[in-house]
Structure formats: structure tokens, C-alpha cells
Amino acid sequence: MSQGAAVGTLFVVEPGLLTTVQDLGRVGYQRVGVPPSGPMDRAAFMVANRLVGNPAGAAALECTIKGPRLEVRQAATIGVAGAPMGFTINGQEAPSWTALRVRPGDVLAFQMASAGCRAYLAVAGGIDVPLALGSRATYLRGRLGGLGGRALQKGDALPVGKASPEAVREDRRVPPALRPAYPAERECRVILGPQDDRFTSEGIRAFLEGPYDVTPQADRMGYRLKGPEITHARGHDIVSDGIPLGGIQVPGEGQPIVLLVDRQTTGGYTKIATVISVDVGAIGQTRPGHRIRFRRVTLEEAHAALAAEAAWLARAVQR
Amino acid sequence: MSTGLYPAPRLLPAGDAAVSVELGDEISREVNARALTLERLLLDARLPGLVDTVPTFRALLVHYDPLVLPWAALRARLLDLAGRLADAPPPPGRRVELPCAYGGAHGPDLEEVARRLDLTPAAVVDLHAGAEHYVYFVGFTPGLPYMAGQPARLTIPRLDRPRTRTPAGSVGIGGTQTSIYSVESPGGFWVLGRTPLRLYDPAAAEPILLRAGDHVRFRPIDPAEFDALAEKVAAGTYRPRIEEET
């Protein structure tokens, strides 16, 4: 998915709290210990790309809690989606969930998120950093992908690829009724297992009743939660095995850790359940102090929810 | 069942986009060979919607896109492939030589390990470097090998208090295993030495040095050779000694 030679740039005036280049993630390297990375809220990321007519896998910016201040160096079409983060152009409030034309000299800026945690800024043509192991996604701990494997810094110039012709011609937006909400209390659906048989029935009940608070130890690797203790029936260690996206580890002290896009690929703690694909983004939209409850669903219900999300994505962005 | 293999694999859902195929209940070469063989058969099948595979000691985690590869189809395919494992040859491994500076600043725990095991430091090095270490899988952090194969005489419980910082390349033992830190990280292994090679190098064309199924031997080197090799590695002029198995 080459995005061609860079035809424009975005200049980083202020980097924000933690702003990284992400695409849909690195595929095929978990077998050698490299996590997929990619956006923490996949649906919002995909909407941002659709707004500007990009392919789903084009690279865009993930802004965390407080987004960056960027100066436009070349006319472009941009789109912002995800958590409301006080987005402005030249100091004037500007709409999210809407494709916007910007001109050289325009300053794009974000404030603190008023709800949720992560916002996405896509540019028609995509952020055109080099591929690293087949992906532009930033993996911070592995210093891989994105801009030199790190978060944006003041003074960076982000290369932007060539936009598709539709991006410049069409006005796209997500109607307000179809925009997601970002509450401070989230319900996340889970499928029990793969090691739910290692917990007591009281432990599983406590887990499903919750609620769990998001602690300050919450990043792209995983979220440590705090709430009712989850008791093991027999030991908290297993023969190390692979960890899925949204896998919920419970080590000895009985508090859950939800493992996310930059997670370790394997681990030796019992996993009580896995957050279903469409609700992983809900975790990524929480931050310390927010609250999570888990609800058990079946595999069939999870797959139906995934199909429903794909249908939502197909109709959310309208012309 | 002395081999630790299950009569039939267990398919454990790991959420709605991954499934763990568990092939046995113990850490053994036989069970691990089955996991690596299943991975090879699955990758060779090039199923649309197959996203990623993670082999471990006794299981294979299969990541899939359920909208492209429906669960029922994947399940049937996995059971079919698992039924053929007994007749399929395991994927070929490689023989890899890793230079290792034992003891001193590079191996701060060598003396203490020797004392606890009632051996001389030289005997610990001989036992460790004399063995062939088999890479069960690579995981946790990029390029980190989970290896076993050292003599039982070197079995030692892990550190009571894990170190907060261990340099990349550190070669450690704990339990019956050897591991090598692929990035600077905390850890509970006793550090016997350090290799100047990079198990993970994000800037290299081939960022990952070791693979599941590899056979590793450590070649003892002195600190001067460590420095010389580290310089070559940094300059990109060092070629690790790797033999393909036929």
C-alpha cells in the first residue's frame, strides 16, 4: 500500500501529550514477539480515514488526552474523529466527524479531551512515513515504525502522501445521530476464557459484577484495572502462551490487566476472558478514573456485533 | 501418554478473533514440534482472513478476521490439519552460534550461580556453552527466545527479586531455561553472560535474529572480543554464523 512520494507536510508546533503515527497495524510478526500496534480505537480511526477518502489502512495520527498543534504547509483535506478534544483551526472551533479543506499556514490545534481519551486526525493521502516490517504503525517500546519509532516531537515535519481525486471533490461527514458517545463508564462485552477454568465461580462472578476503575497504569500496552478481587481456583501461572487483543490477565493479586495493541505477544498469567473486538476501542477511550464493567456474551453474539459494526462503518460516513 | 500430547487438540476461544489450539499439557520437544508443524501447515494453506500466528511451548494462537474467515470454517480447517500432524515433518530448524562473554561485568550472576549450584564458575560456563539450546518460541518482547536444553545440573529457581534493568543481549538462566534479553528490560533470570549480537534490531533489514525451532550454541568469548564484535555489529559488518538444517 505505497502512498507514493510525499507531496505535502504537516509541521509539528506542539506535539501534544502522546501523538503517534498509526495504521491498521503490523501483521505477521507476533510470531517473533512484535505486537501489531495500530489504533487503540479502530472504528474511530477508520472513520477518520473514510472522511478524507483514504484507504482503511492509510496512516493517520492518534492523539492522546491532549492533541498536538500542527501547521499546514500544503493545501490538504483533513478529518478528525474519536474523543472530543477541542479541535480548532486558526483558533476557531472546527467540526470533527467532517472532512475539511485546509490551506498553507492554517494551524490545527487540539485542547484536552472533554470526554474519552483518543482522537484521530487523518489527512487525505495519509501520513507517508516509511514502512517498517510492512506497517507505518508506531510501536514505542520497540522503537519501530511511525516517525523513527517514537511519538511526535516539536519541530517534526510529517510527510503527507498523494490524495485520491475523490478526497478533494467530495464533502463527507458523519451525521450527529451516528456519532458515538464517550461516557466515563463503559460496558465491555467479553468472551470467557481461554483459562476461565482456573478461577473460582466467586472469582468469575466478581469479575462480571465489577465495576473496575482504570488506574494510572494504562497505556497502549495494557490497562491495569482495580476493583473486586478475582480469586483463582488453582494457581495464577500457566505454561506461557499467546495473548490475544483484549486478553484479560489476572496475576496473583487478583486484579485484571486488559492487554491492548502494543501488548507482549506471550505471557504466563491466567487469562479469565477476552474483550470482544468491537469493544476494545471502548477501553482505548477510557483513562485513569474512568470505570469499566464487563458483560459476558457468546462467540456468535460477538461475531454478530462485528458484522453490525462493519455495517455502521459503511453507512456512518455520508456524502 | 509419556509424550504429553493430547489425543485430540483443544480449541479454546481467545475472544472473537483468535483461538488457542492446545496440543498437549507439558513442555516437551514433541508437543512443541507439533505446534510449529501446525503453524507451518496453516501458513502454507494461505487462508484468506488468517491474520497472525503465535506458537508457544504447547499451543498455537491463531488470529483471524471472522468477517473474512468464518469461525466454523477455521475450526474445521484446524481440526483437519491437526489430524495430519503425526505424519507431517516438523519445519527445519537452523543451527545458530552466539558468541557470549561469560562472567565479569557482562555476567554479574555467574559467581553466585556457581556458589548456589556447588560448581566452579568455569564449570558453569562449560556446562552452559557445551549444551545445545533449543528455541521453543520467540515472544514476550521482540526477538526474545524461550530456550531449553541445558544440563539439569544448571537448574536453579529464578531470582527472588527481579532486576529492574537488564541490558539487551544478557544471557540468563532460570528454572530449566535459558533466555536472552532482546531489549533492555526488567527480569528474573540469573545473568551468566552477554552476547554482543542484537536479537532485535529495528533498523536492520532482518530485525529478528532467532526463530522458533532454532538450535543455539554459545561460544565463550573474552571481553576484548565482545568489544570488537559489538563494534562490527554496530557498523553492520558482522554476519552471525547460521547453518540451515536440511
Q: What is the interface pTM, i.e. ipTM, of the complex? A: 0.94
- pLDDT of A141 > 70? The answer is yes
Cross-chain residue pair A264–B141, CB shorter than 8 Å:
yes
Nearest to A139 by CA among B161, B141, B17: B141
- pLDDT of B246 > 80? The answer is no
Q: Which residues of chain B neighbour A31 with C-beta distances below 8 Å? A: 39, 52-55, 137-139, 212
Query: What is the predicted pLDDT for the residue at A6?
Result: 63
How far apart CA B196 and CA B230 sit, in angstroms, is 5
From the list A31, A193, A266, the residue facing B140 with the nearest CB is A266
Q: What is the pTM of this model?
A: 0.94
What would the mean pLDDT of A141-157 be, rounded to a whole number?
96
State residue B133 phi and psi, 5-degree precision. Answer: -100, 130
If phi > 0 it is left, if psi is from -120 to 50 it is alpha, else beta; for residue B149 that is: left
* Residues in chain B whose Cβ is within 8 Å of chain A: 12-18, 20, 22, 26-27, 39, 51-61, 63, 66-67, 70-71, 137-144, 146, 182-183, 200, 202, 207-208, 211-212
When scoring B16, B27, B179 by the number of chain A Cβ atoms within 10 A, the one with the most, hence best to mutate, is B16
A34 touches chain B (CB under 8 A): yes
How far apart CA A54 and CA A46 sit, in angstroms, is 9
- pLDDT of B26 > 90? The answer is no
- pLDDT of B192 > 60? The answer is yes
A248-281 confidence digits (pLDDT tens): 999 988 999 999 999 999 998 999 999 999 999 9
A131 touches chain B (CB under 8 A): no
Query: What is the predicted pLDDT for the residue at B75?
Result: 97
B94-139 confidence digits (pLDDT tens): 999 999 999 999 999 999 999 999 999 999 999 999 999 999 999 9
Cross-chain residue pair B138–A31, CB shorter than 8 Å:
yes
Q: Which residues contact B216 (CB under 8 A, 6 or more apart)?
A: B96, B97, B98, B132, B133, B134, B135, B145, B147, B210
From the list B16, B57, B211, the residue facing A303 with the nearest CB is B16
State residue A304 phi and psi, 5-degree precision. Answer: -65, -40
Query: What is the predicted pLDDT for the residue at A171?
Result: 83
- pLDDT of A220 > 90? The answer is yes
Q: Of A69-73, A177-181, B61-65, B242-246, where does mean pLDDT reach its minimum?
A: B242-246
Q: Work out the number of other CB atoms within 10 angstroms of the CB of residue B105.
A: 10
How far apart CA A126 and CA A48 sit, in angstroms, is 11
Cross-chain residue pair A277–B139, CB shorter than 8 Å:
no
State residue B231 phi and psi, 5-degree precision. Answer: -65, -45
Query: What is the predicted pLDDT for the residue at A2?
Result: 42
Q: Give B42-49 contacts, CB < 8 A, sequence gap 24+.
A: B42/B77, B42/B78, B42/B81, B45/B77, B45/B81, B47/B74, B47/B77, B49/B74
Residue B1 burial class via C-beta count within 10 angstroms: exposed 0-12, middle 13-18, buried 19 and up:
exposed
Question: Would you place residue A40 in the very low, low, confident or very high pLDDT band (cuts 50, 70, 90)?
Answer: very high
Query: What is the predicted pLDDT for the residue at A163?
Result: 87
- pLDDT of B4 > 80? The answer is yes
From the list B20, B70, B140, the residue facing A194 with the nearest CB is B20
From the list A36, A264, A306, the residue facing B16 with the nearest CB is A306
CA–CA min distance A252, chain B (Å): 16
Cross-chain residue pair B16–A299, CB shorter than 8 Å:
yes
Nearest to A117 by CA among A66, A70, A81, A152: A66
If phi > 0 it is left, if psi is from -120 to 50 it is alpha, else beta; for residue B61 that is: beta
From the list A33, A241, A307, the residue facing B142 with the nearest CB is A33
Question: Would you place residue B2 in the very low, low, confident or very high pLDDT band (cuts 50, 70, 90)?
Answer: low
Cross-chain residue pair B182–A33, CB shorter than 8 Å:
yes
Query: What is the predicted pLDDT for the residue at A168?
Result: 66
Nearest to A194 by CA among B74, B20, B5: B20
Percent of chain B at pLDDT exceeding 70: 98
Query: What is the predicted pLDDT for the residue at A103?
Result: 95
Question: From the DSSP assignment, how many helices (H) and strands (E) are in chain A?
Answer: 5, 20
What would the mean pLDDT of A110-114 be, rounded to a whole number?
97
Residue A79 three-state SS: strand
Q: Of A37-41, A87-91, B5-9, where does mean pLDDT reach its minimum?
A: B5-9
Query: What is the predicted pLDDT for the residue at A234?
Result: 85
A311 touches chain B (CB under 8 A): no
Question: Would you place residue B163 in the very low, low, confident or very high pLDDT band (cuts 50, 70, 90)?
Answer: confident
On average, the pLDDT of chain B sits at: 94
Question: Would you place residue B245 in the very low, low, confident or very high pLDDT band (cuts 50, 70, 90)?
Answer: confident
- pLDDT of B50 > 70? The answer is yes
- Dihedral in degrees, nearest 10, Cα atoms B103, B109, B114, B120: 20
Query: What is the predicted pLDDT for the residue at A5?
Result: 55
How far apart CA B134 and CA B217 sit, in angstroms, is 9
Q: Which residues of chain B neighbour A310 with C-beta distances below 8 Å? A: 67
- pLDDT of A1 > 50? The answer is no
- pLDDT of A221 > 80? The answer is yes
When scoring A26, A29, A30, A31 by the number of chain B Cβ atoms within 10 A, the one with the most, hence best to mutate, is A31
DSSP conformational letter for A164: P
Query: What is the predicted pLDDT for the residue at A165?
Result: 77
How far apart CA B150 and CA A113 sit, in angstroms, is 53
How far apart CA B52 and CA B71 sit, in angstroms, is 15
Query: What is the predicted pLDDT for the residue at A177?
Result: 94
If phi > 0 it is left, if psi is from -120 to 50 it is alpha, else beta; for residue B91 that is: beta
Question: Would you place residue A3 in the very low, low, confident or very high pLDDT band (cuts 50, 70, 90)?
Answer: very low
3-state SS, chain B, equals CCCCEEEEEEEEECCCCEEEEEEECCCCHHHHHHHHHHHHHHHHHCCCCEEEEEECCCEEEEEECCCCCCHHHHHHHHHHHHCCHHHCCCCCCEEEEEEEEECCCCCCCHHHHHHHHCCCHHHHHHHHHHCCEEEEEECCCCCCEEEECCCHHHCECCCCCCEEEECCCEEEEEECEEEECCCCEEECCEEEEECCCCCECCCCCCCECCCCCCEEEEEEECHHHHHHHHHHHHHCCCCCEEEECC
Block residue for cell numbers 539439569 = B152
A32 touches chain B (CB under 8 A): yes
What would the mean pLDDT of A244-248 be, rounded to a whole number?
98
From the list A194, A240, A302, the residue facing B57 with the nearest CB is A240
What would the mean pLDDT of A151-178 be, rounded to a whole number?
89
- pLDDT of B181 > 60? The answer is yes
From the list B16, B57, B139, the residue facing A265 with the nearest CB is B139
